[in-house]
């Protein structure tokens, strides 16, 4: 169980619009240290828009986002990354012409302190930092079982491995909050089981809040501590997986009678 204390992320009264279209309407929730919080809802419910507001890609019309007690509405996405907010993307956004190792190392740029001159010489401080960053990346490669993909160009990798590299790159930022946007979309059953295992391993090892957008209700019910449900940009429910399965509003808007047992929502 996750304690009620240790609030890491607070979203209060968040509203977002694109012209006359309201993507989010007065959405509020909290994410606690060490918990896996699932965001679910029909397509177009506002789940990715909510992640984009948290990571800084979108600026809400109203409301606040606070991370570790700091109001971050006006903080840039790059600064949020330095604060410890890291994410994956629904559509994989990797450097396709680089190897898996290079993609993970690229995420370490926020920790590099040496300048271009020291980097070109690659001696002393620059070399020491490179070794330290490489060591952290190698730990991620071991954690996500990416050894076979280490030196392969990302574009040549199978889809499931690319998703894993995307997760690894997010971990390379040493996140204090991890946002996962449909990390299992397009995967087969075996790949989903592996990804679910990796997410649980991350939660156990890092003890950081993980917010996951996912459509597979079997996965959501198995790995999440709490679930927030959106429909047409509005939060219609929040609670434990068991509470959400029994919620009539959620059943009507998203799960349907046939999916109460945890089958994938259509």
Same domain, 189 and 253: yes
Q: How far apart are alpha carbons 21 and 154 in whole angstroms?
A: 37
In this structure, the answer to whether residues 181 and 79 fall within a common structural domain is: yes
Residues 33, 146 within the same domain: no
3-state secondary structure of 63: strand
Q: Assess contact for 181 and 88: CB atoms under 8 A.
A: yes
Domain end (from 126, 142, 174): 174
- Its pTM stands at 0.88
Let me know whether 104 and 183 are in one domain: no
Q: What is the pLDDT of residues 190-235, one digit of tens each?
A: 999 999 999 999 999 999 999 999 999 899 999 999 999 999 999 9
- Residues pairing with 212 in the sheet: 38, 180
| Domain, as residue range, for 74 | 1-84+176-266
Q: What is the pLDDT of residues 31-71, one digit of tens each?
A: 999 999 999 999 989 999 999 999 999 999 999 999 999 99
Look at residue 240 and give its three-state secondary structure.
coil
Question: Which of 134, 159, 174 is the endpoint of a domain?
Answer: 174
- Strands 210-213 and 85-87 turn out to be unpaired
Query: Rounded CA gap, 148 and 156, in Å?
Result: 12
Q: Is residue 211 a contact partner of residue 31, using CB atoms and an 8 Å limit? A: yes
Query: Based on the domain organization, do 67 and 52 belong to the same domain?
Result: yes
180 & 58 share domain: yes
The total number of structural domains in the chain stands at 2
pLDDT of residue 172: 95
Residues 68 and 137 in one domain: no
Q: State whether 166 and 215 are in the same domain.
A: no
Q: Could you tell me the pLDDT band of residue 256, with boundaries at 50, 70 and 90? A: low
Specify the DSSP element, H or E, that contains 120: helix 116-121
Beta-carbon contacts of 86 under 8 Å, excluding residues fewer than 6 positions away, are 170, 171, 173, 175, 177, 178, 179
**In 153-182, which positions are buried (b, 16+ CB within 10 angstroms) versus exposed (e)?**
ebeebeebbbbbbbbbbbbbbbbbbbbbbb
79 and 188 assigned to the same domain: yes
Alpha carbons 111 and 76: distance in angstroms, whole number? 17
- The one-character DSSP state at 138 is H
111: helix, strand or coil: helix
DSSP 3-state of 13: strand
Judged by average pLDDT, the poorest of 117-121, 132-136, 158-162, 177-181 is: 117-121
196 plus 157 within the same structural domain:
no
Distance CA 234, CA 100 (A): 38
Last residue of a domain, one of 123, 158, 174: 174
Same domain, 137 and 9: no
CA distance 56 to 36: 21
DSSP 8-state secondary structure symbol assigned to residue 154: G
What are the backbone angles phi and psi of residue 216, rounded to the nearest 5°? -80, 105
Q: What is the pLDDT of residues 85-107, one digit of tens each?
A: 999 998 888 999 999 999 999 99
Distance of CA 261 to the CA centre of its chain: 25
Token readout for 260 is 């109460």
Q: Mean of the pLDDT values across residues 106-133?
A: 69
Give yes or no: residues 198 and 132 share one domain.
Answer: no
Any idea what the CATH number is for the domain that residue 31 is in? 3.40.50.300
Q: Roughly how many angstroms between the first and final C-alpha of the chain, as a whole number?
A: 30
Alpha-carbon separation of residue 183 from 96, 124, 131, 152, 236 (angstroms): 18, 39, 30, 21, 23
């Amino acid at each position: 169980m996750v304690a009620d204390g240790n609030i890491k992320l607070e979203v209060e009264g968040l509203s977002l619009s694109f012209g006359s279209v309201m993507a989010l309407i007065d959405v509020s929730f909290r994410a606690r240290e060490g918990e896996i919080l699932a965001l679910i809802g029909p397509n177009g419910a506002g789940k990715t828009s909510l992640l984009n507001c948290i990571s800084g890609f979108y600026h809400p019309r109203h409301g606040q986002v606070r991370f570790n007690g700091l109001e971050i509405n006006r903080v840039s996405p790059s600064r949020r990354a330095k604060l410890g907010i890291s994410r994956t993307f629904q559509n994989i956004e990797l450097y396709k012409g680089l190897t898996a190792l290079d993609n993970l190392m690229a995420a370490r740029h926020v920790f590099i302190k040496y300048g271009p001159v020291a980097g070109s010489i690659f001696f002393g401080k620059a070399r020491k930092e490179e070794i330290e960053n490489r060591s952290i990346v190698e730990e991620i490669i071991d954690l996500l079982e990416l050894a076979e993909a280490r030196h392969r160009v990302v574009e040549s990798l199978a889809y499931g491995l690319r998703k894993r590299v995307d997760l690894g790159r997010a971990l390379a930022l040493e996140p204090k909050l991890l946002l996962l946007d449909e990390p299992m979309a397009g995967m087969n059953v075996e790949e989903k089981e592996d990804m679910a295992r990796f997410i649980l391993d991350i939660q156990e090892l890092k003890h950081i809040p993980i917010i996951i957008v996912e459509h597979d209700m079997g996965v959501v019910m198995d790995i999440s501590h709490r679930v927030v449900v959106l429909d047409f940009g509005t939060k219609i429910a929040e609670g434990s997986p068991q509470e959400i399965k029994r919620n009539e509003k959620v059943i009507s808007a998203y799960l349907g009678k046939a999916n109460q047992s945890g089958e994938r929502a259509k």
